[in-house]
Amino acid sequence: MTPSYLARLMLLSSASFFLLHLVIAAVVASIAPAFVQRAHKARPQQAARLLLTLRLLPAALSTLVVAALCVPSYLRFEPRLAEEEVSIACVAFAFLGAAIWASGIYRTVSALLRSALYVRRCEGRESIVAGEKVLVVKNSAVLALTGIVHPRLLISEVALSELSGEQLAIALRHEQAHRASRDNLKRLLILLAPPLFPRLRLLEQAWAKCAEWAADDRAADGDAVQSTTLAAALVRVARLQSGFTLPLATSLVEADEDLSIRVNRLLSAGPGAEGDLRGQTLGLSAVLLLIAAISLNSGALHAVHELLEHVYDLW
């Protein structure tokens, strides 16, 4: 098989993406348990940021390397008139790379459609609650934030009647914290990057937990009375809620979470000793800066092209 110049570029890029993604995902999966354990002892907002970065790193870094190094080196140094055979292995790797992207796009589009359809089917009325514009609905969404570009707050009629004014106000502040952090957008990015290894799901679960803790802290703002009120609101909503789950929504109480941990954390004297993850964050930033520096260096791009040629010959 002798593809055209651009077809070879697409095959090589997709195959390179798959191999890079596989290697990086394996490394991230191997260190995931240690990072999850350490993140639970750090400040929730900082931990959530690092866990999300690690979860997205295989797909994001692989895409960055291909876009910033592989494609420019090929376009700059590969002769347009060159005719090279493409091996079955190269085609297979390229197919697997395309399959990863196709899976991510399918998961993302499916989640967007499900969320949009759910909101459209909600029988509700717009209202102002505690100074916030909300959609009061009749079905199972007790209290949740849905949407990406223009997130909407959904509150069930039973929640309005069961929660006290103070509980409702702090519950809304919790969801406002999710909106400020763009957590639904982050959920979308996770869907766009399918996990190749089961351990990567540990990072998803840990991120979701730390994101909830961060929103709790932001809502309570260090006030013991507010923390107690939020804890009471969580318990009451958990009793009312009937297993609300939506891929692109942040509910006040998730259907599958361990609520006792959140409640105990809010009722404790404080979050306890919190570690610092700045060292790990700086390490990841250094990797990205190194890739950027290589992409701007002509000699480095030539070396990348030579490496790709050798790998291409092996296939």
Express each pLDDT in 208-262 by its tens digit: 999 999 999 999 988 999 999 999 999 988 888 765 677 788 888 876 677 888 8
The band of 83, judged by pLDDT with boundaries at 50, 70 and 90, is: low
Task: Give 71's Cβ-side CA count (13 Å radius).
Answer: 13
How far is residue 155's CA from residue 147's CA, in Å, rounded to a whole number?
14
Report the candidate in 30, 71, 89 with the shortest Cα–Cα distance to residue 54: 30
Condensed to tens digits (0 to 9), the pLDDT of residues 158-193 reads: 888 889 989 999 999 999 999 999 999 999 999 999
**What are the C-alpha distances in Å from 57 to residues 24, 111, 287?**
8, 21, 11
Q: What percent of the chain clears pLDDT 90, i.e. is strictly above it? A: 36
Cβ contact 58:196 at 8 Å = yes
Cβ contact 236:163 at 8 Å = yes
Which one-letter DSSP state was computed for residue 196? Answer: S
How far is residue 269's CA from residue 280's CA, in Å, rounded to a whole number?
28
Condensed to tens digits (0 to 9), the pLDDT of residues 31-72 reads: 899 889 888 888 899 899 989 999 999 999 899 889 888 888
Quote the pLDDT of residue 289.
Answer: 63
Quote the pLDDT of residue 272.
Answer: 46
Instruction: Give, for 93, the enclosing helix (H) or strand (E).
Output: helix 88-121
Helices (H) and strands (E) in the chain, counts: 12, 5
The band of 22, judged by pLDDT with boundaries at 50, 70 and 90, is: very high
Average pLDDT over residues 147-153: 87
The band of 269, judged by pLDDT with boundaries at 50, 70 and 90, is: low
Beta pairing partners, 275: 42
How far is residue 310's CA from residue 315's CA, in Å, rounded to a whole number?
9
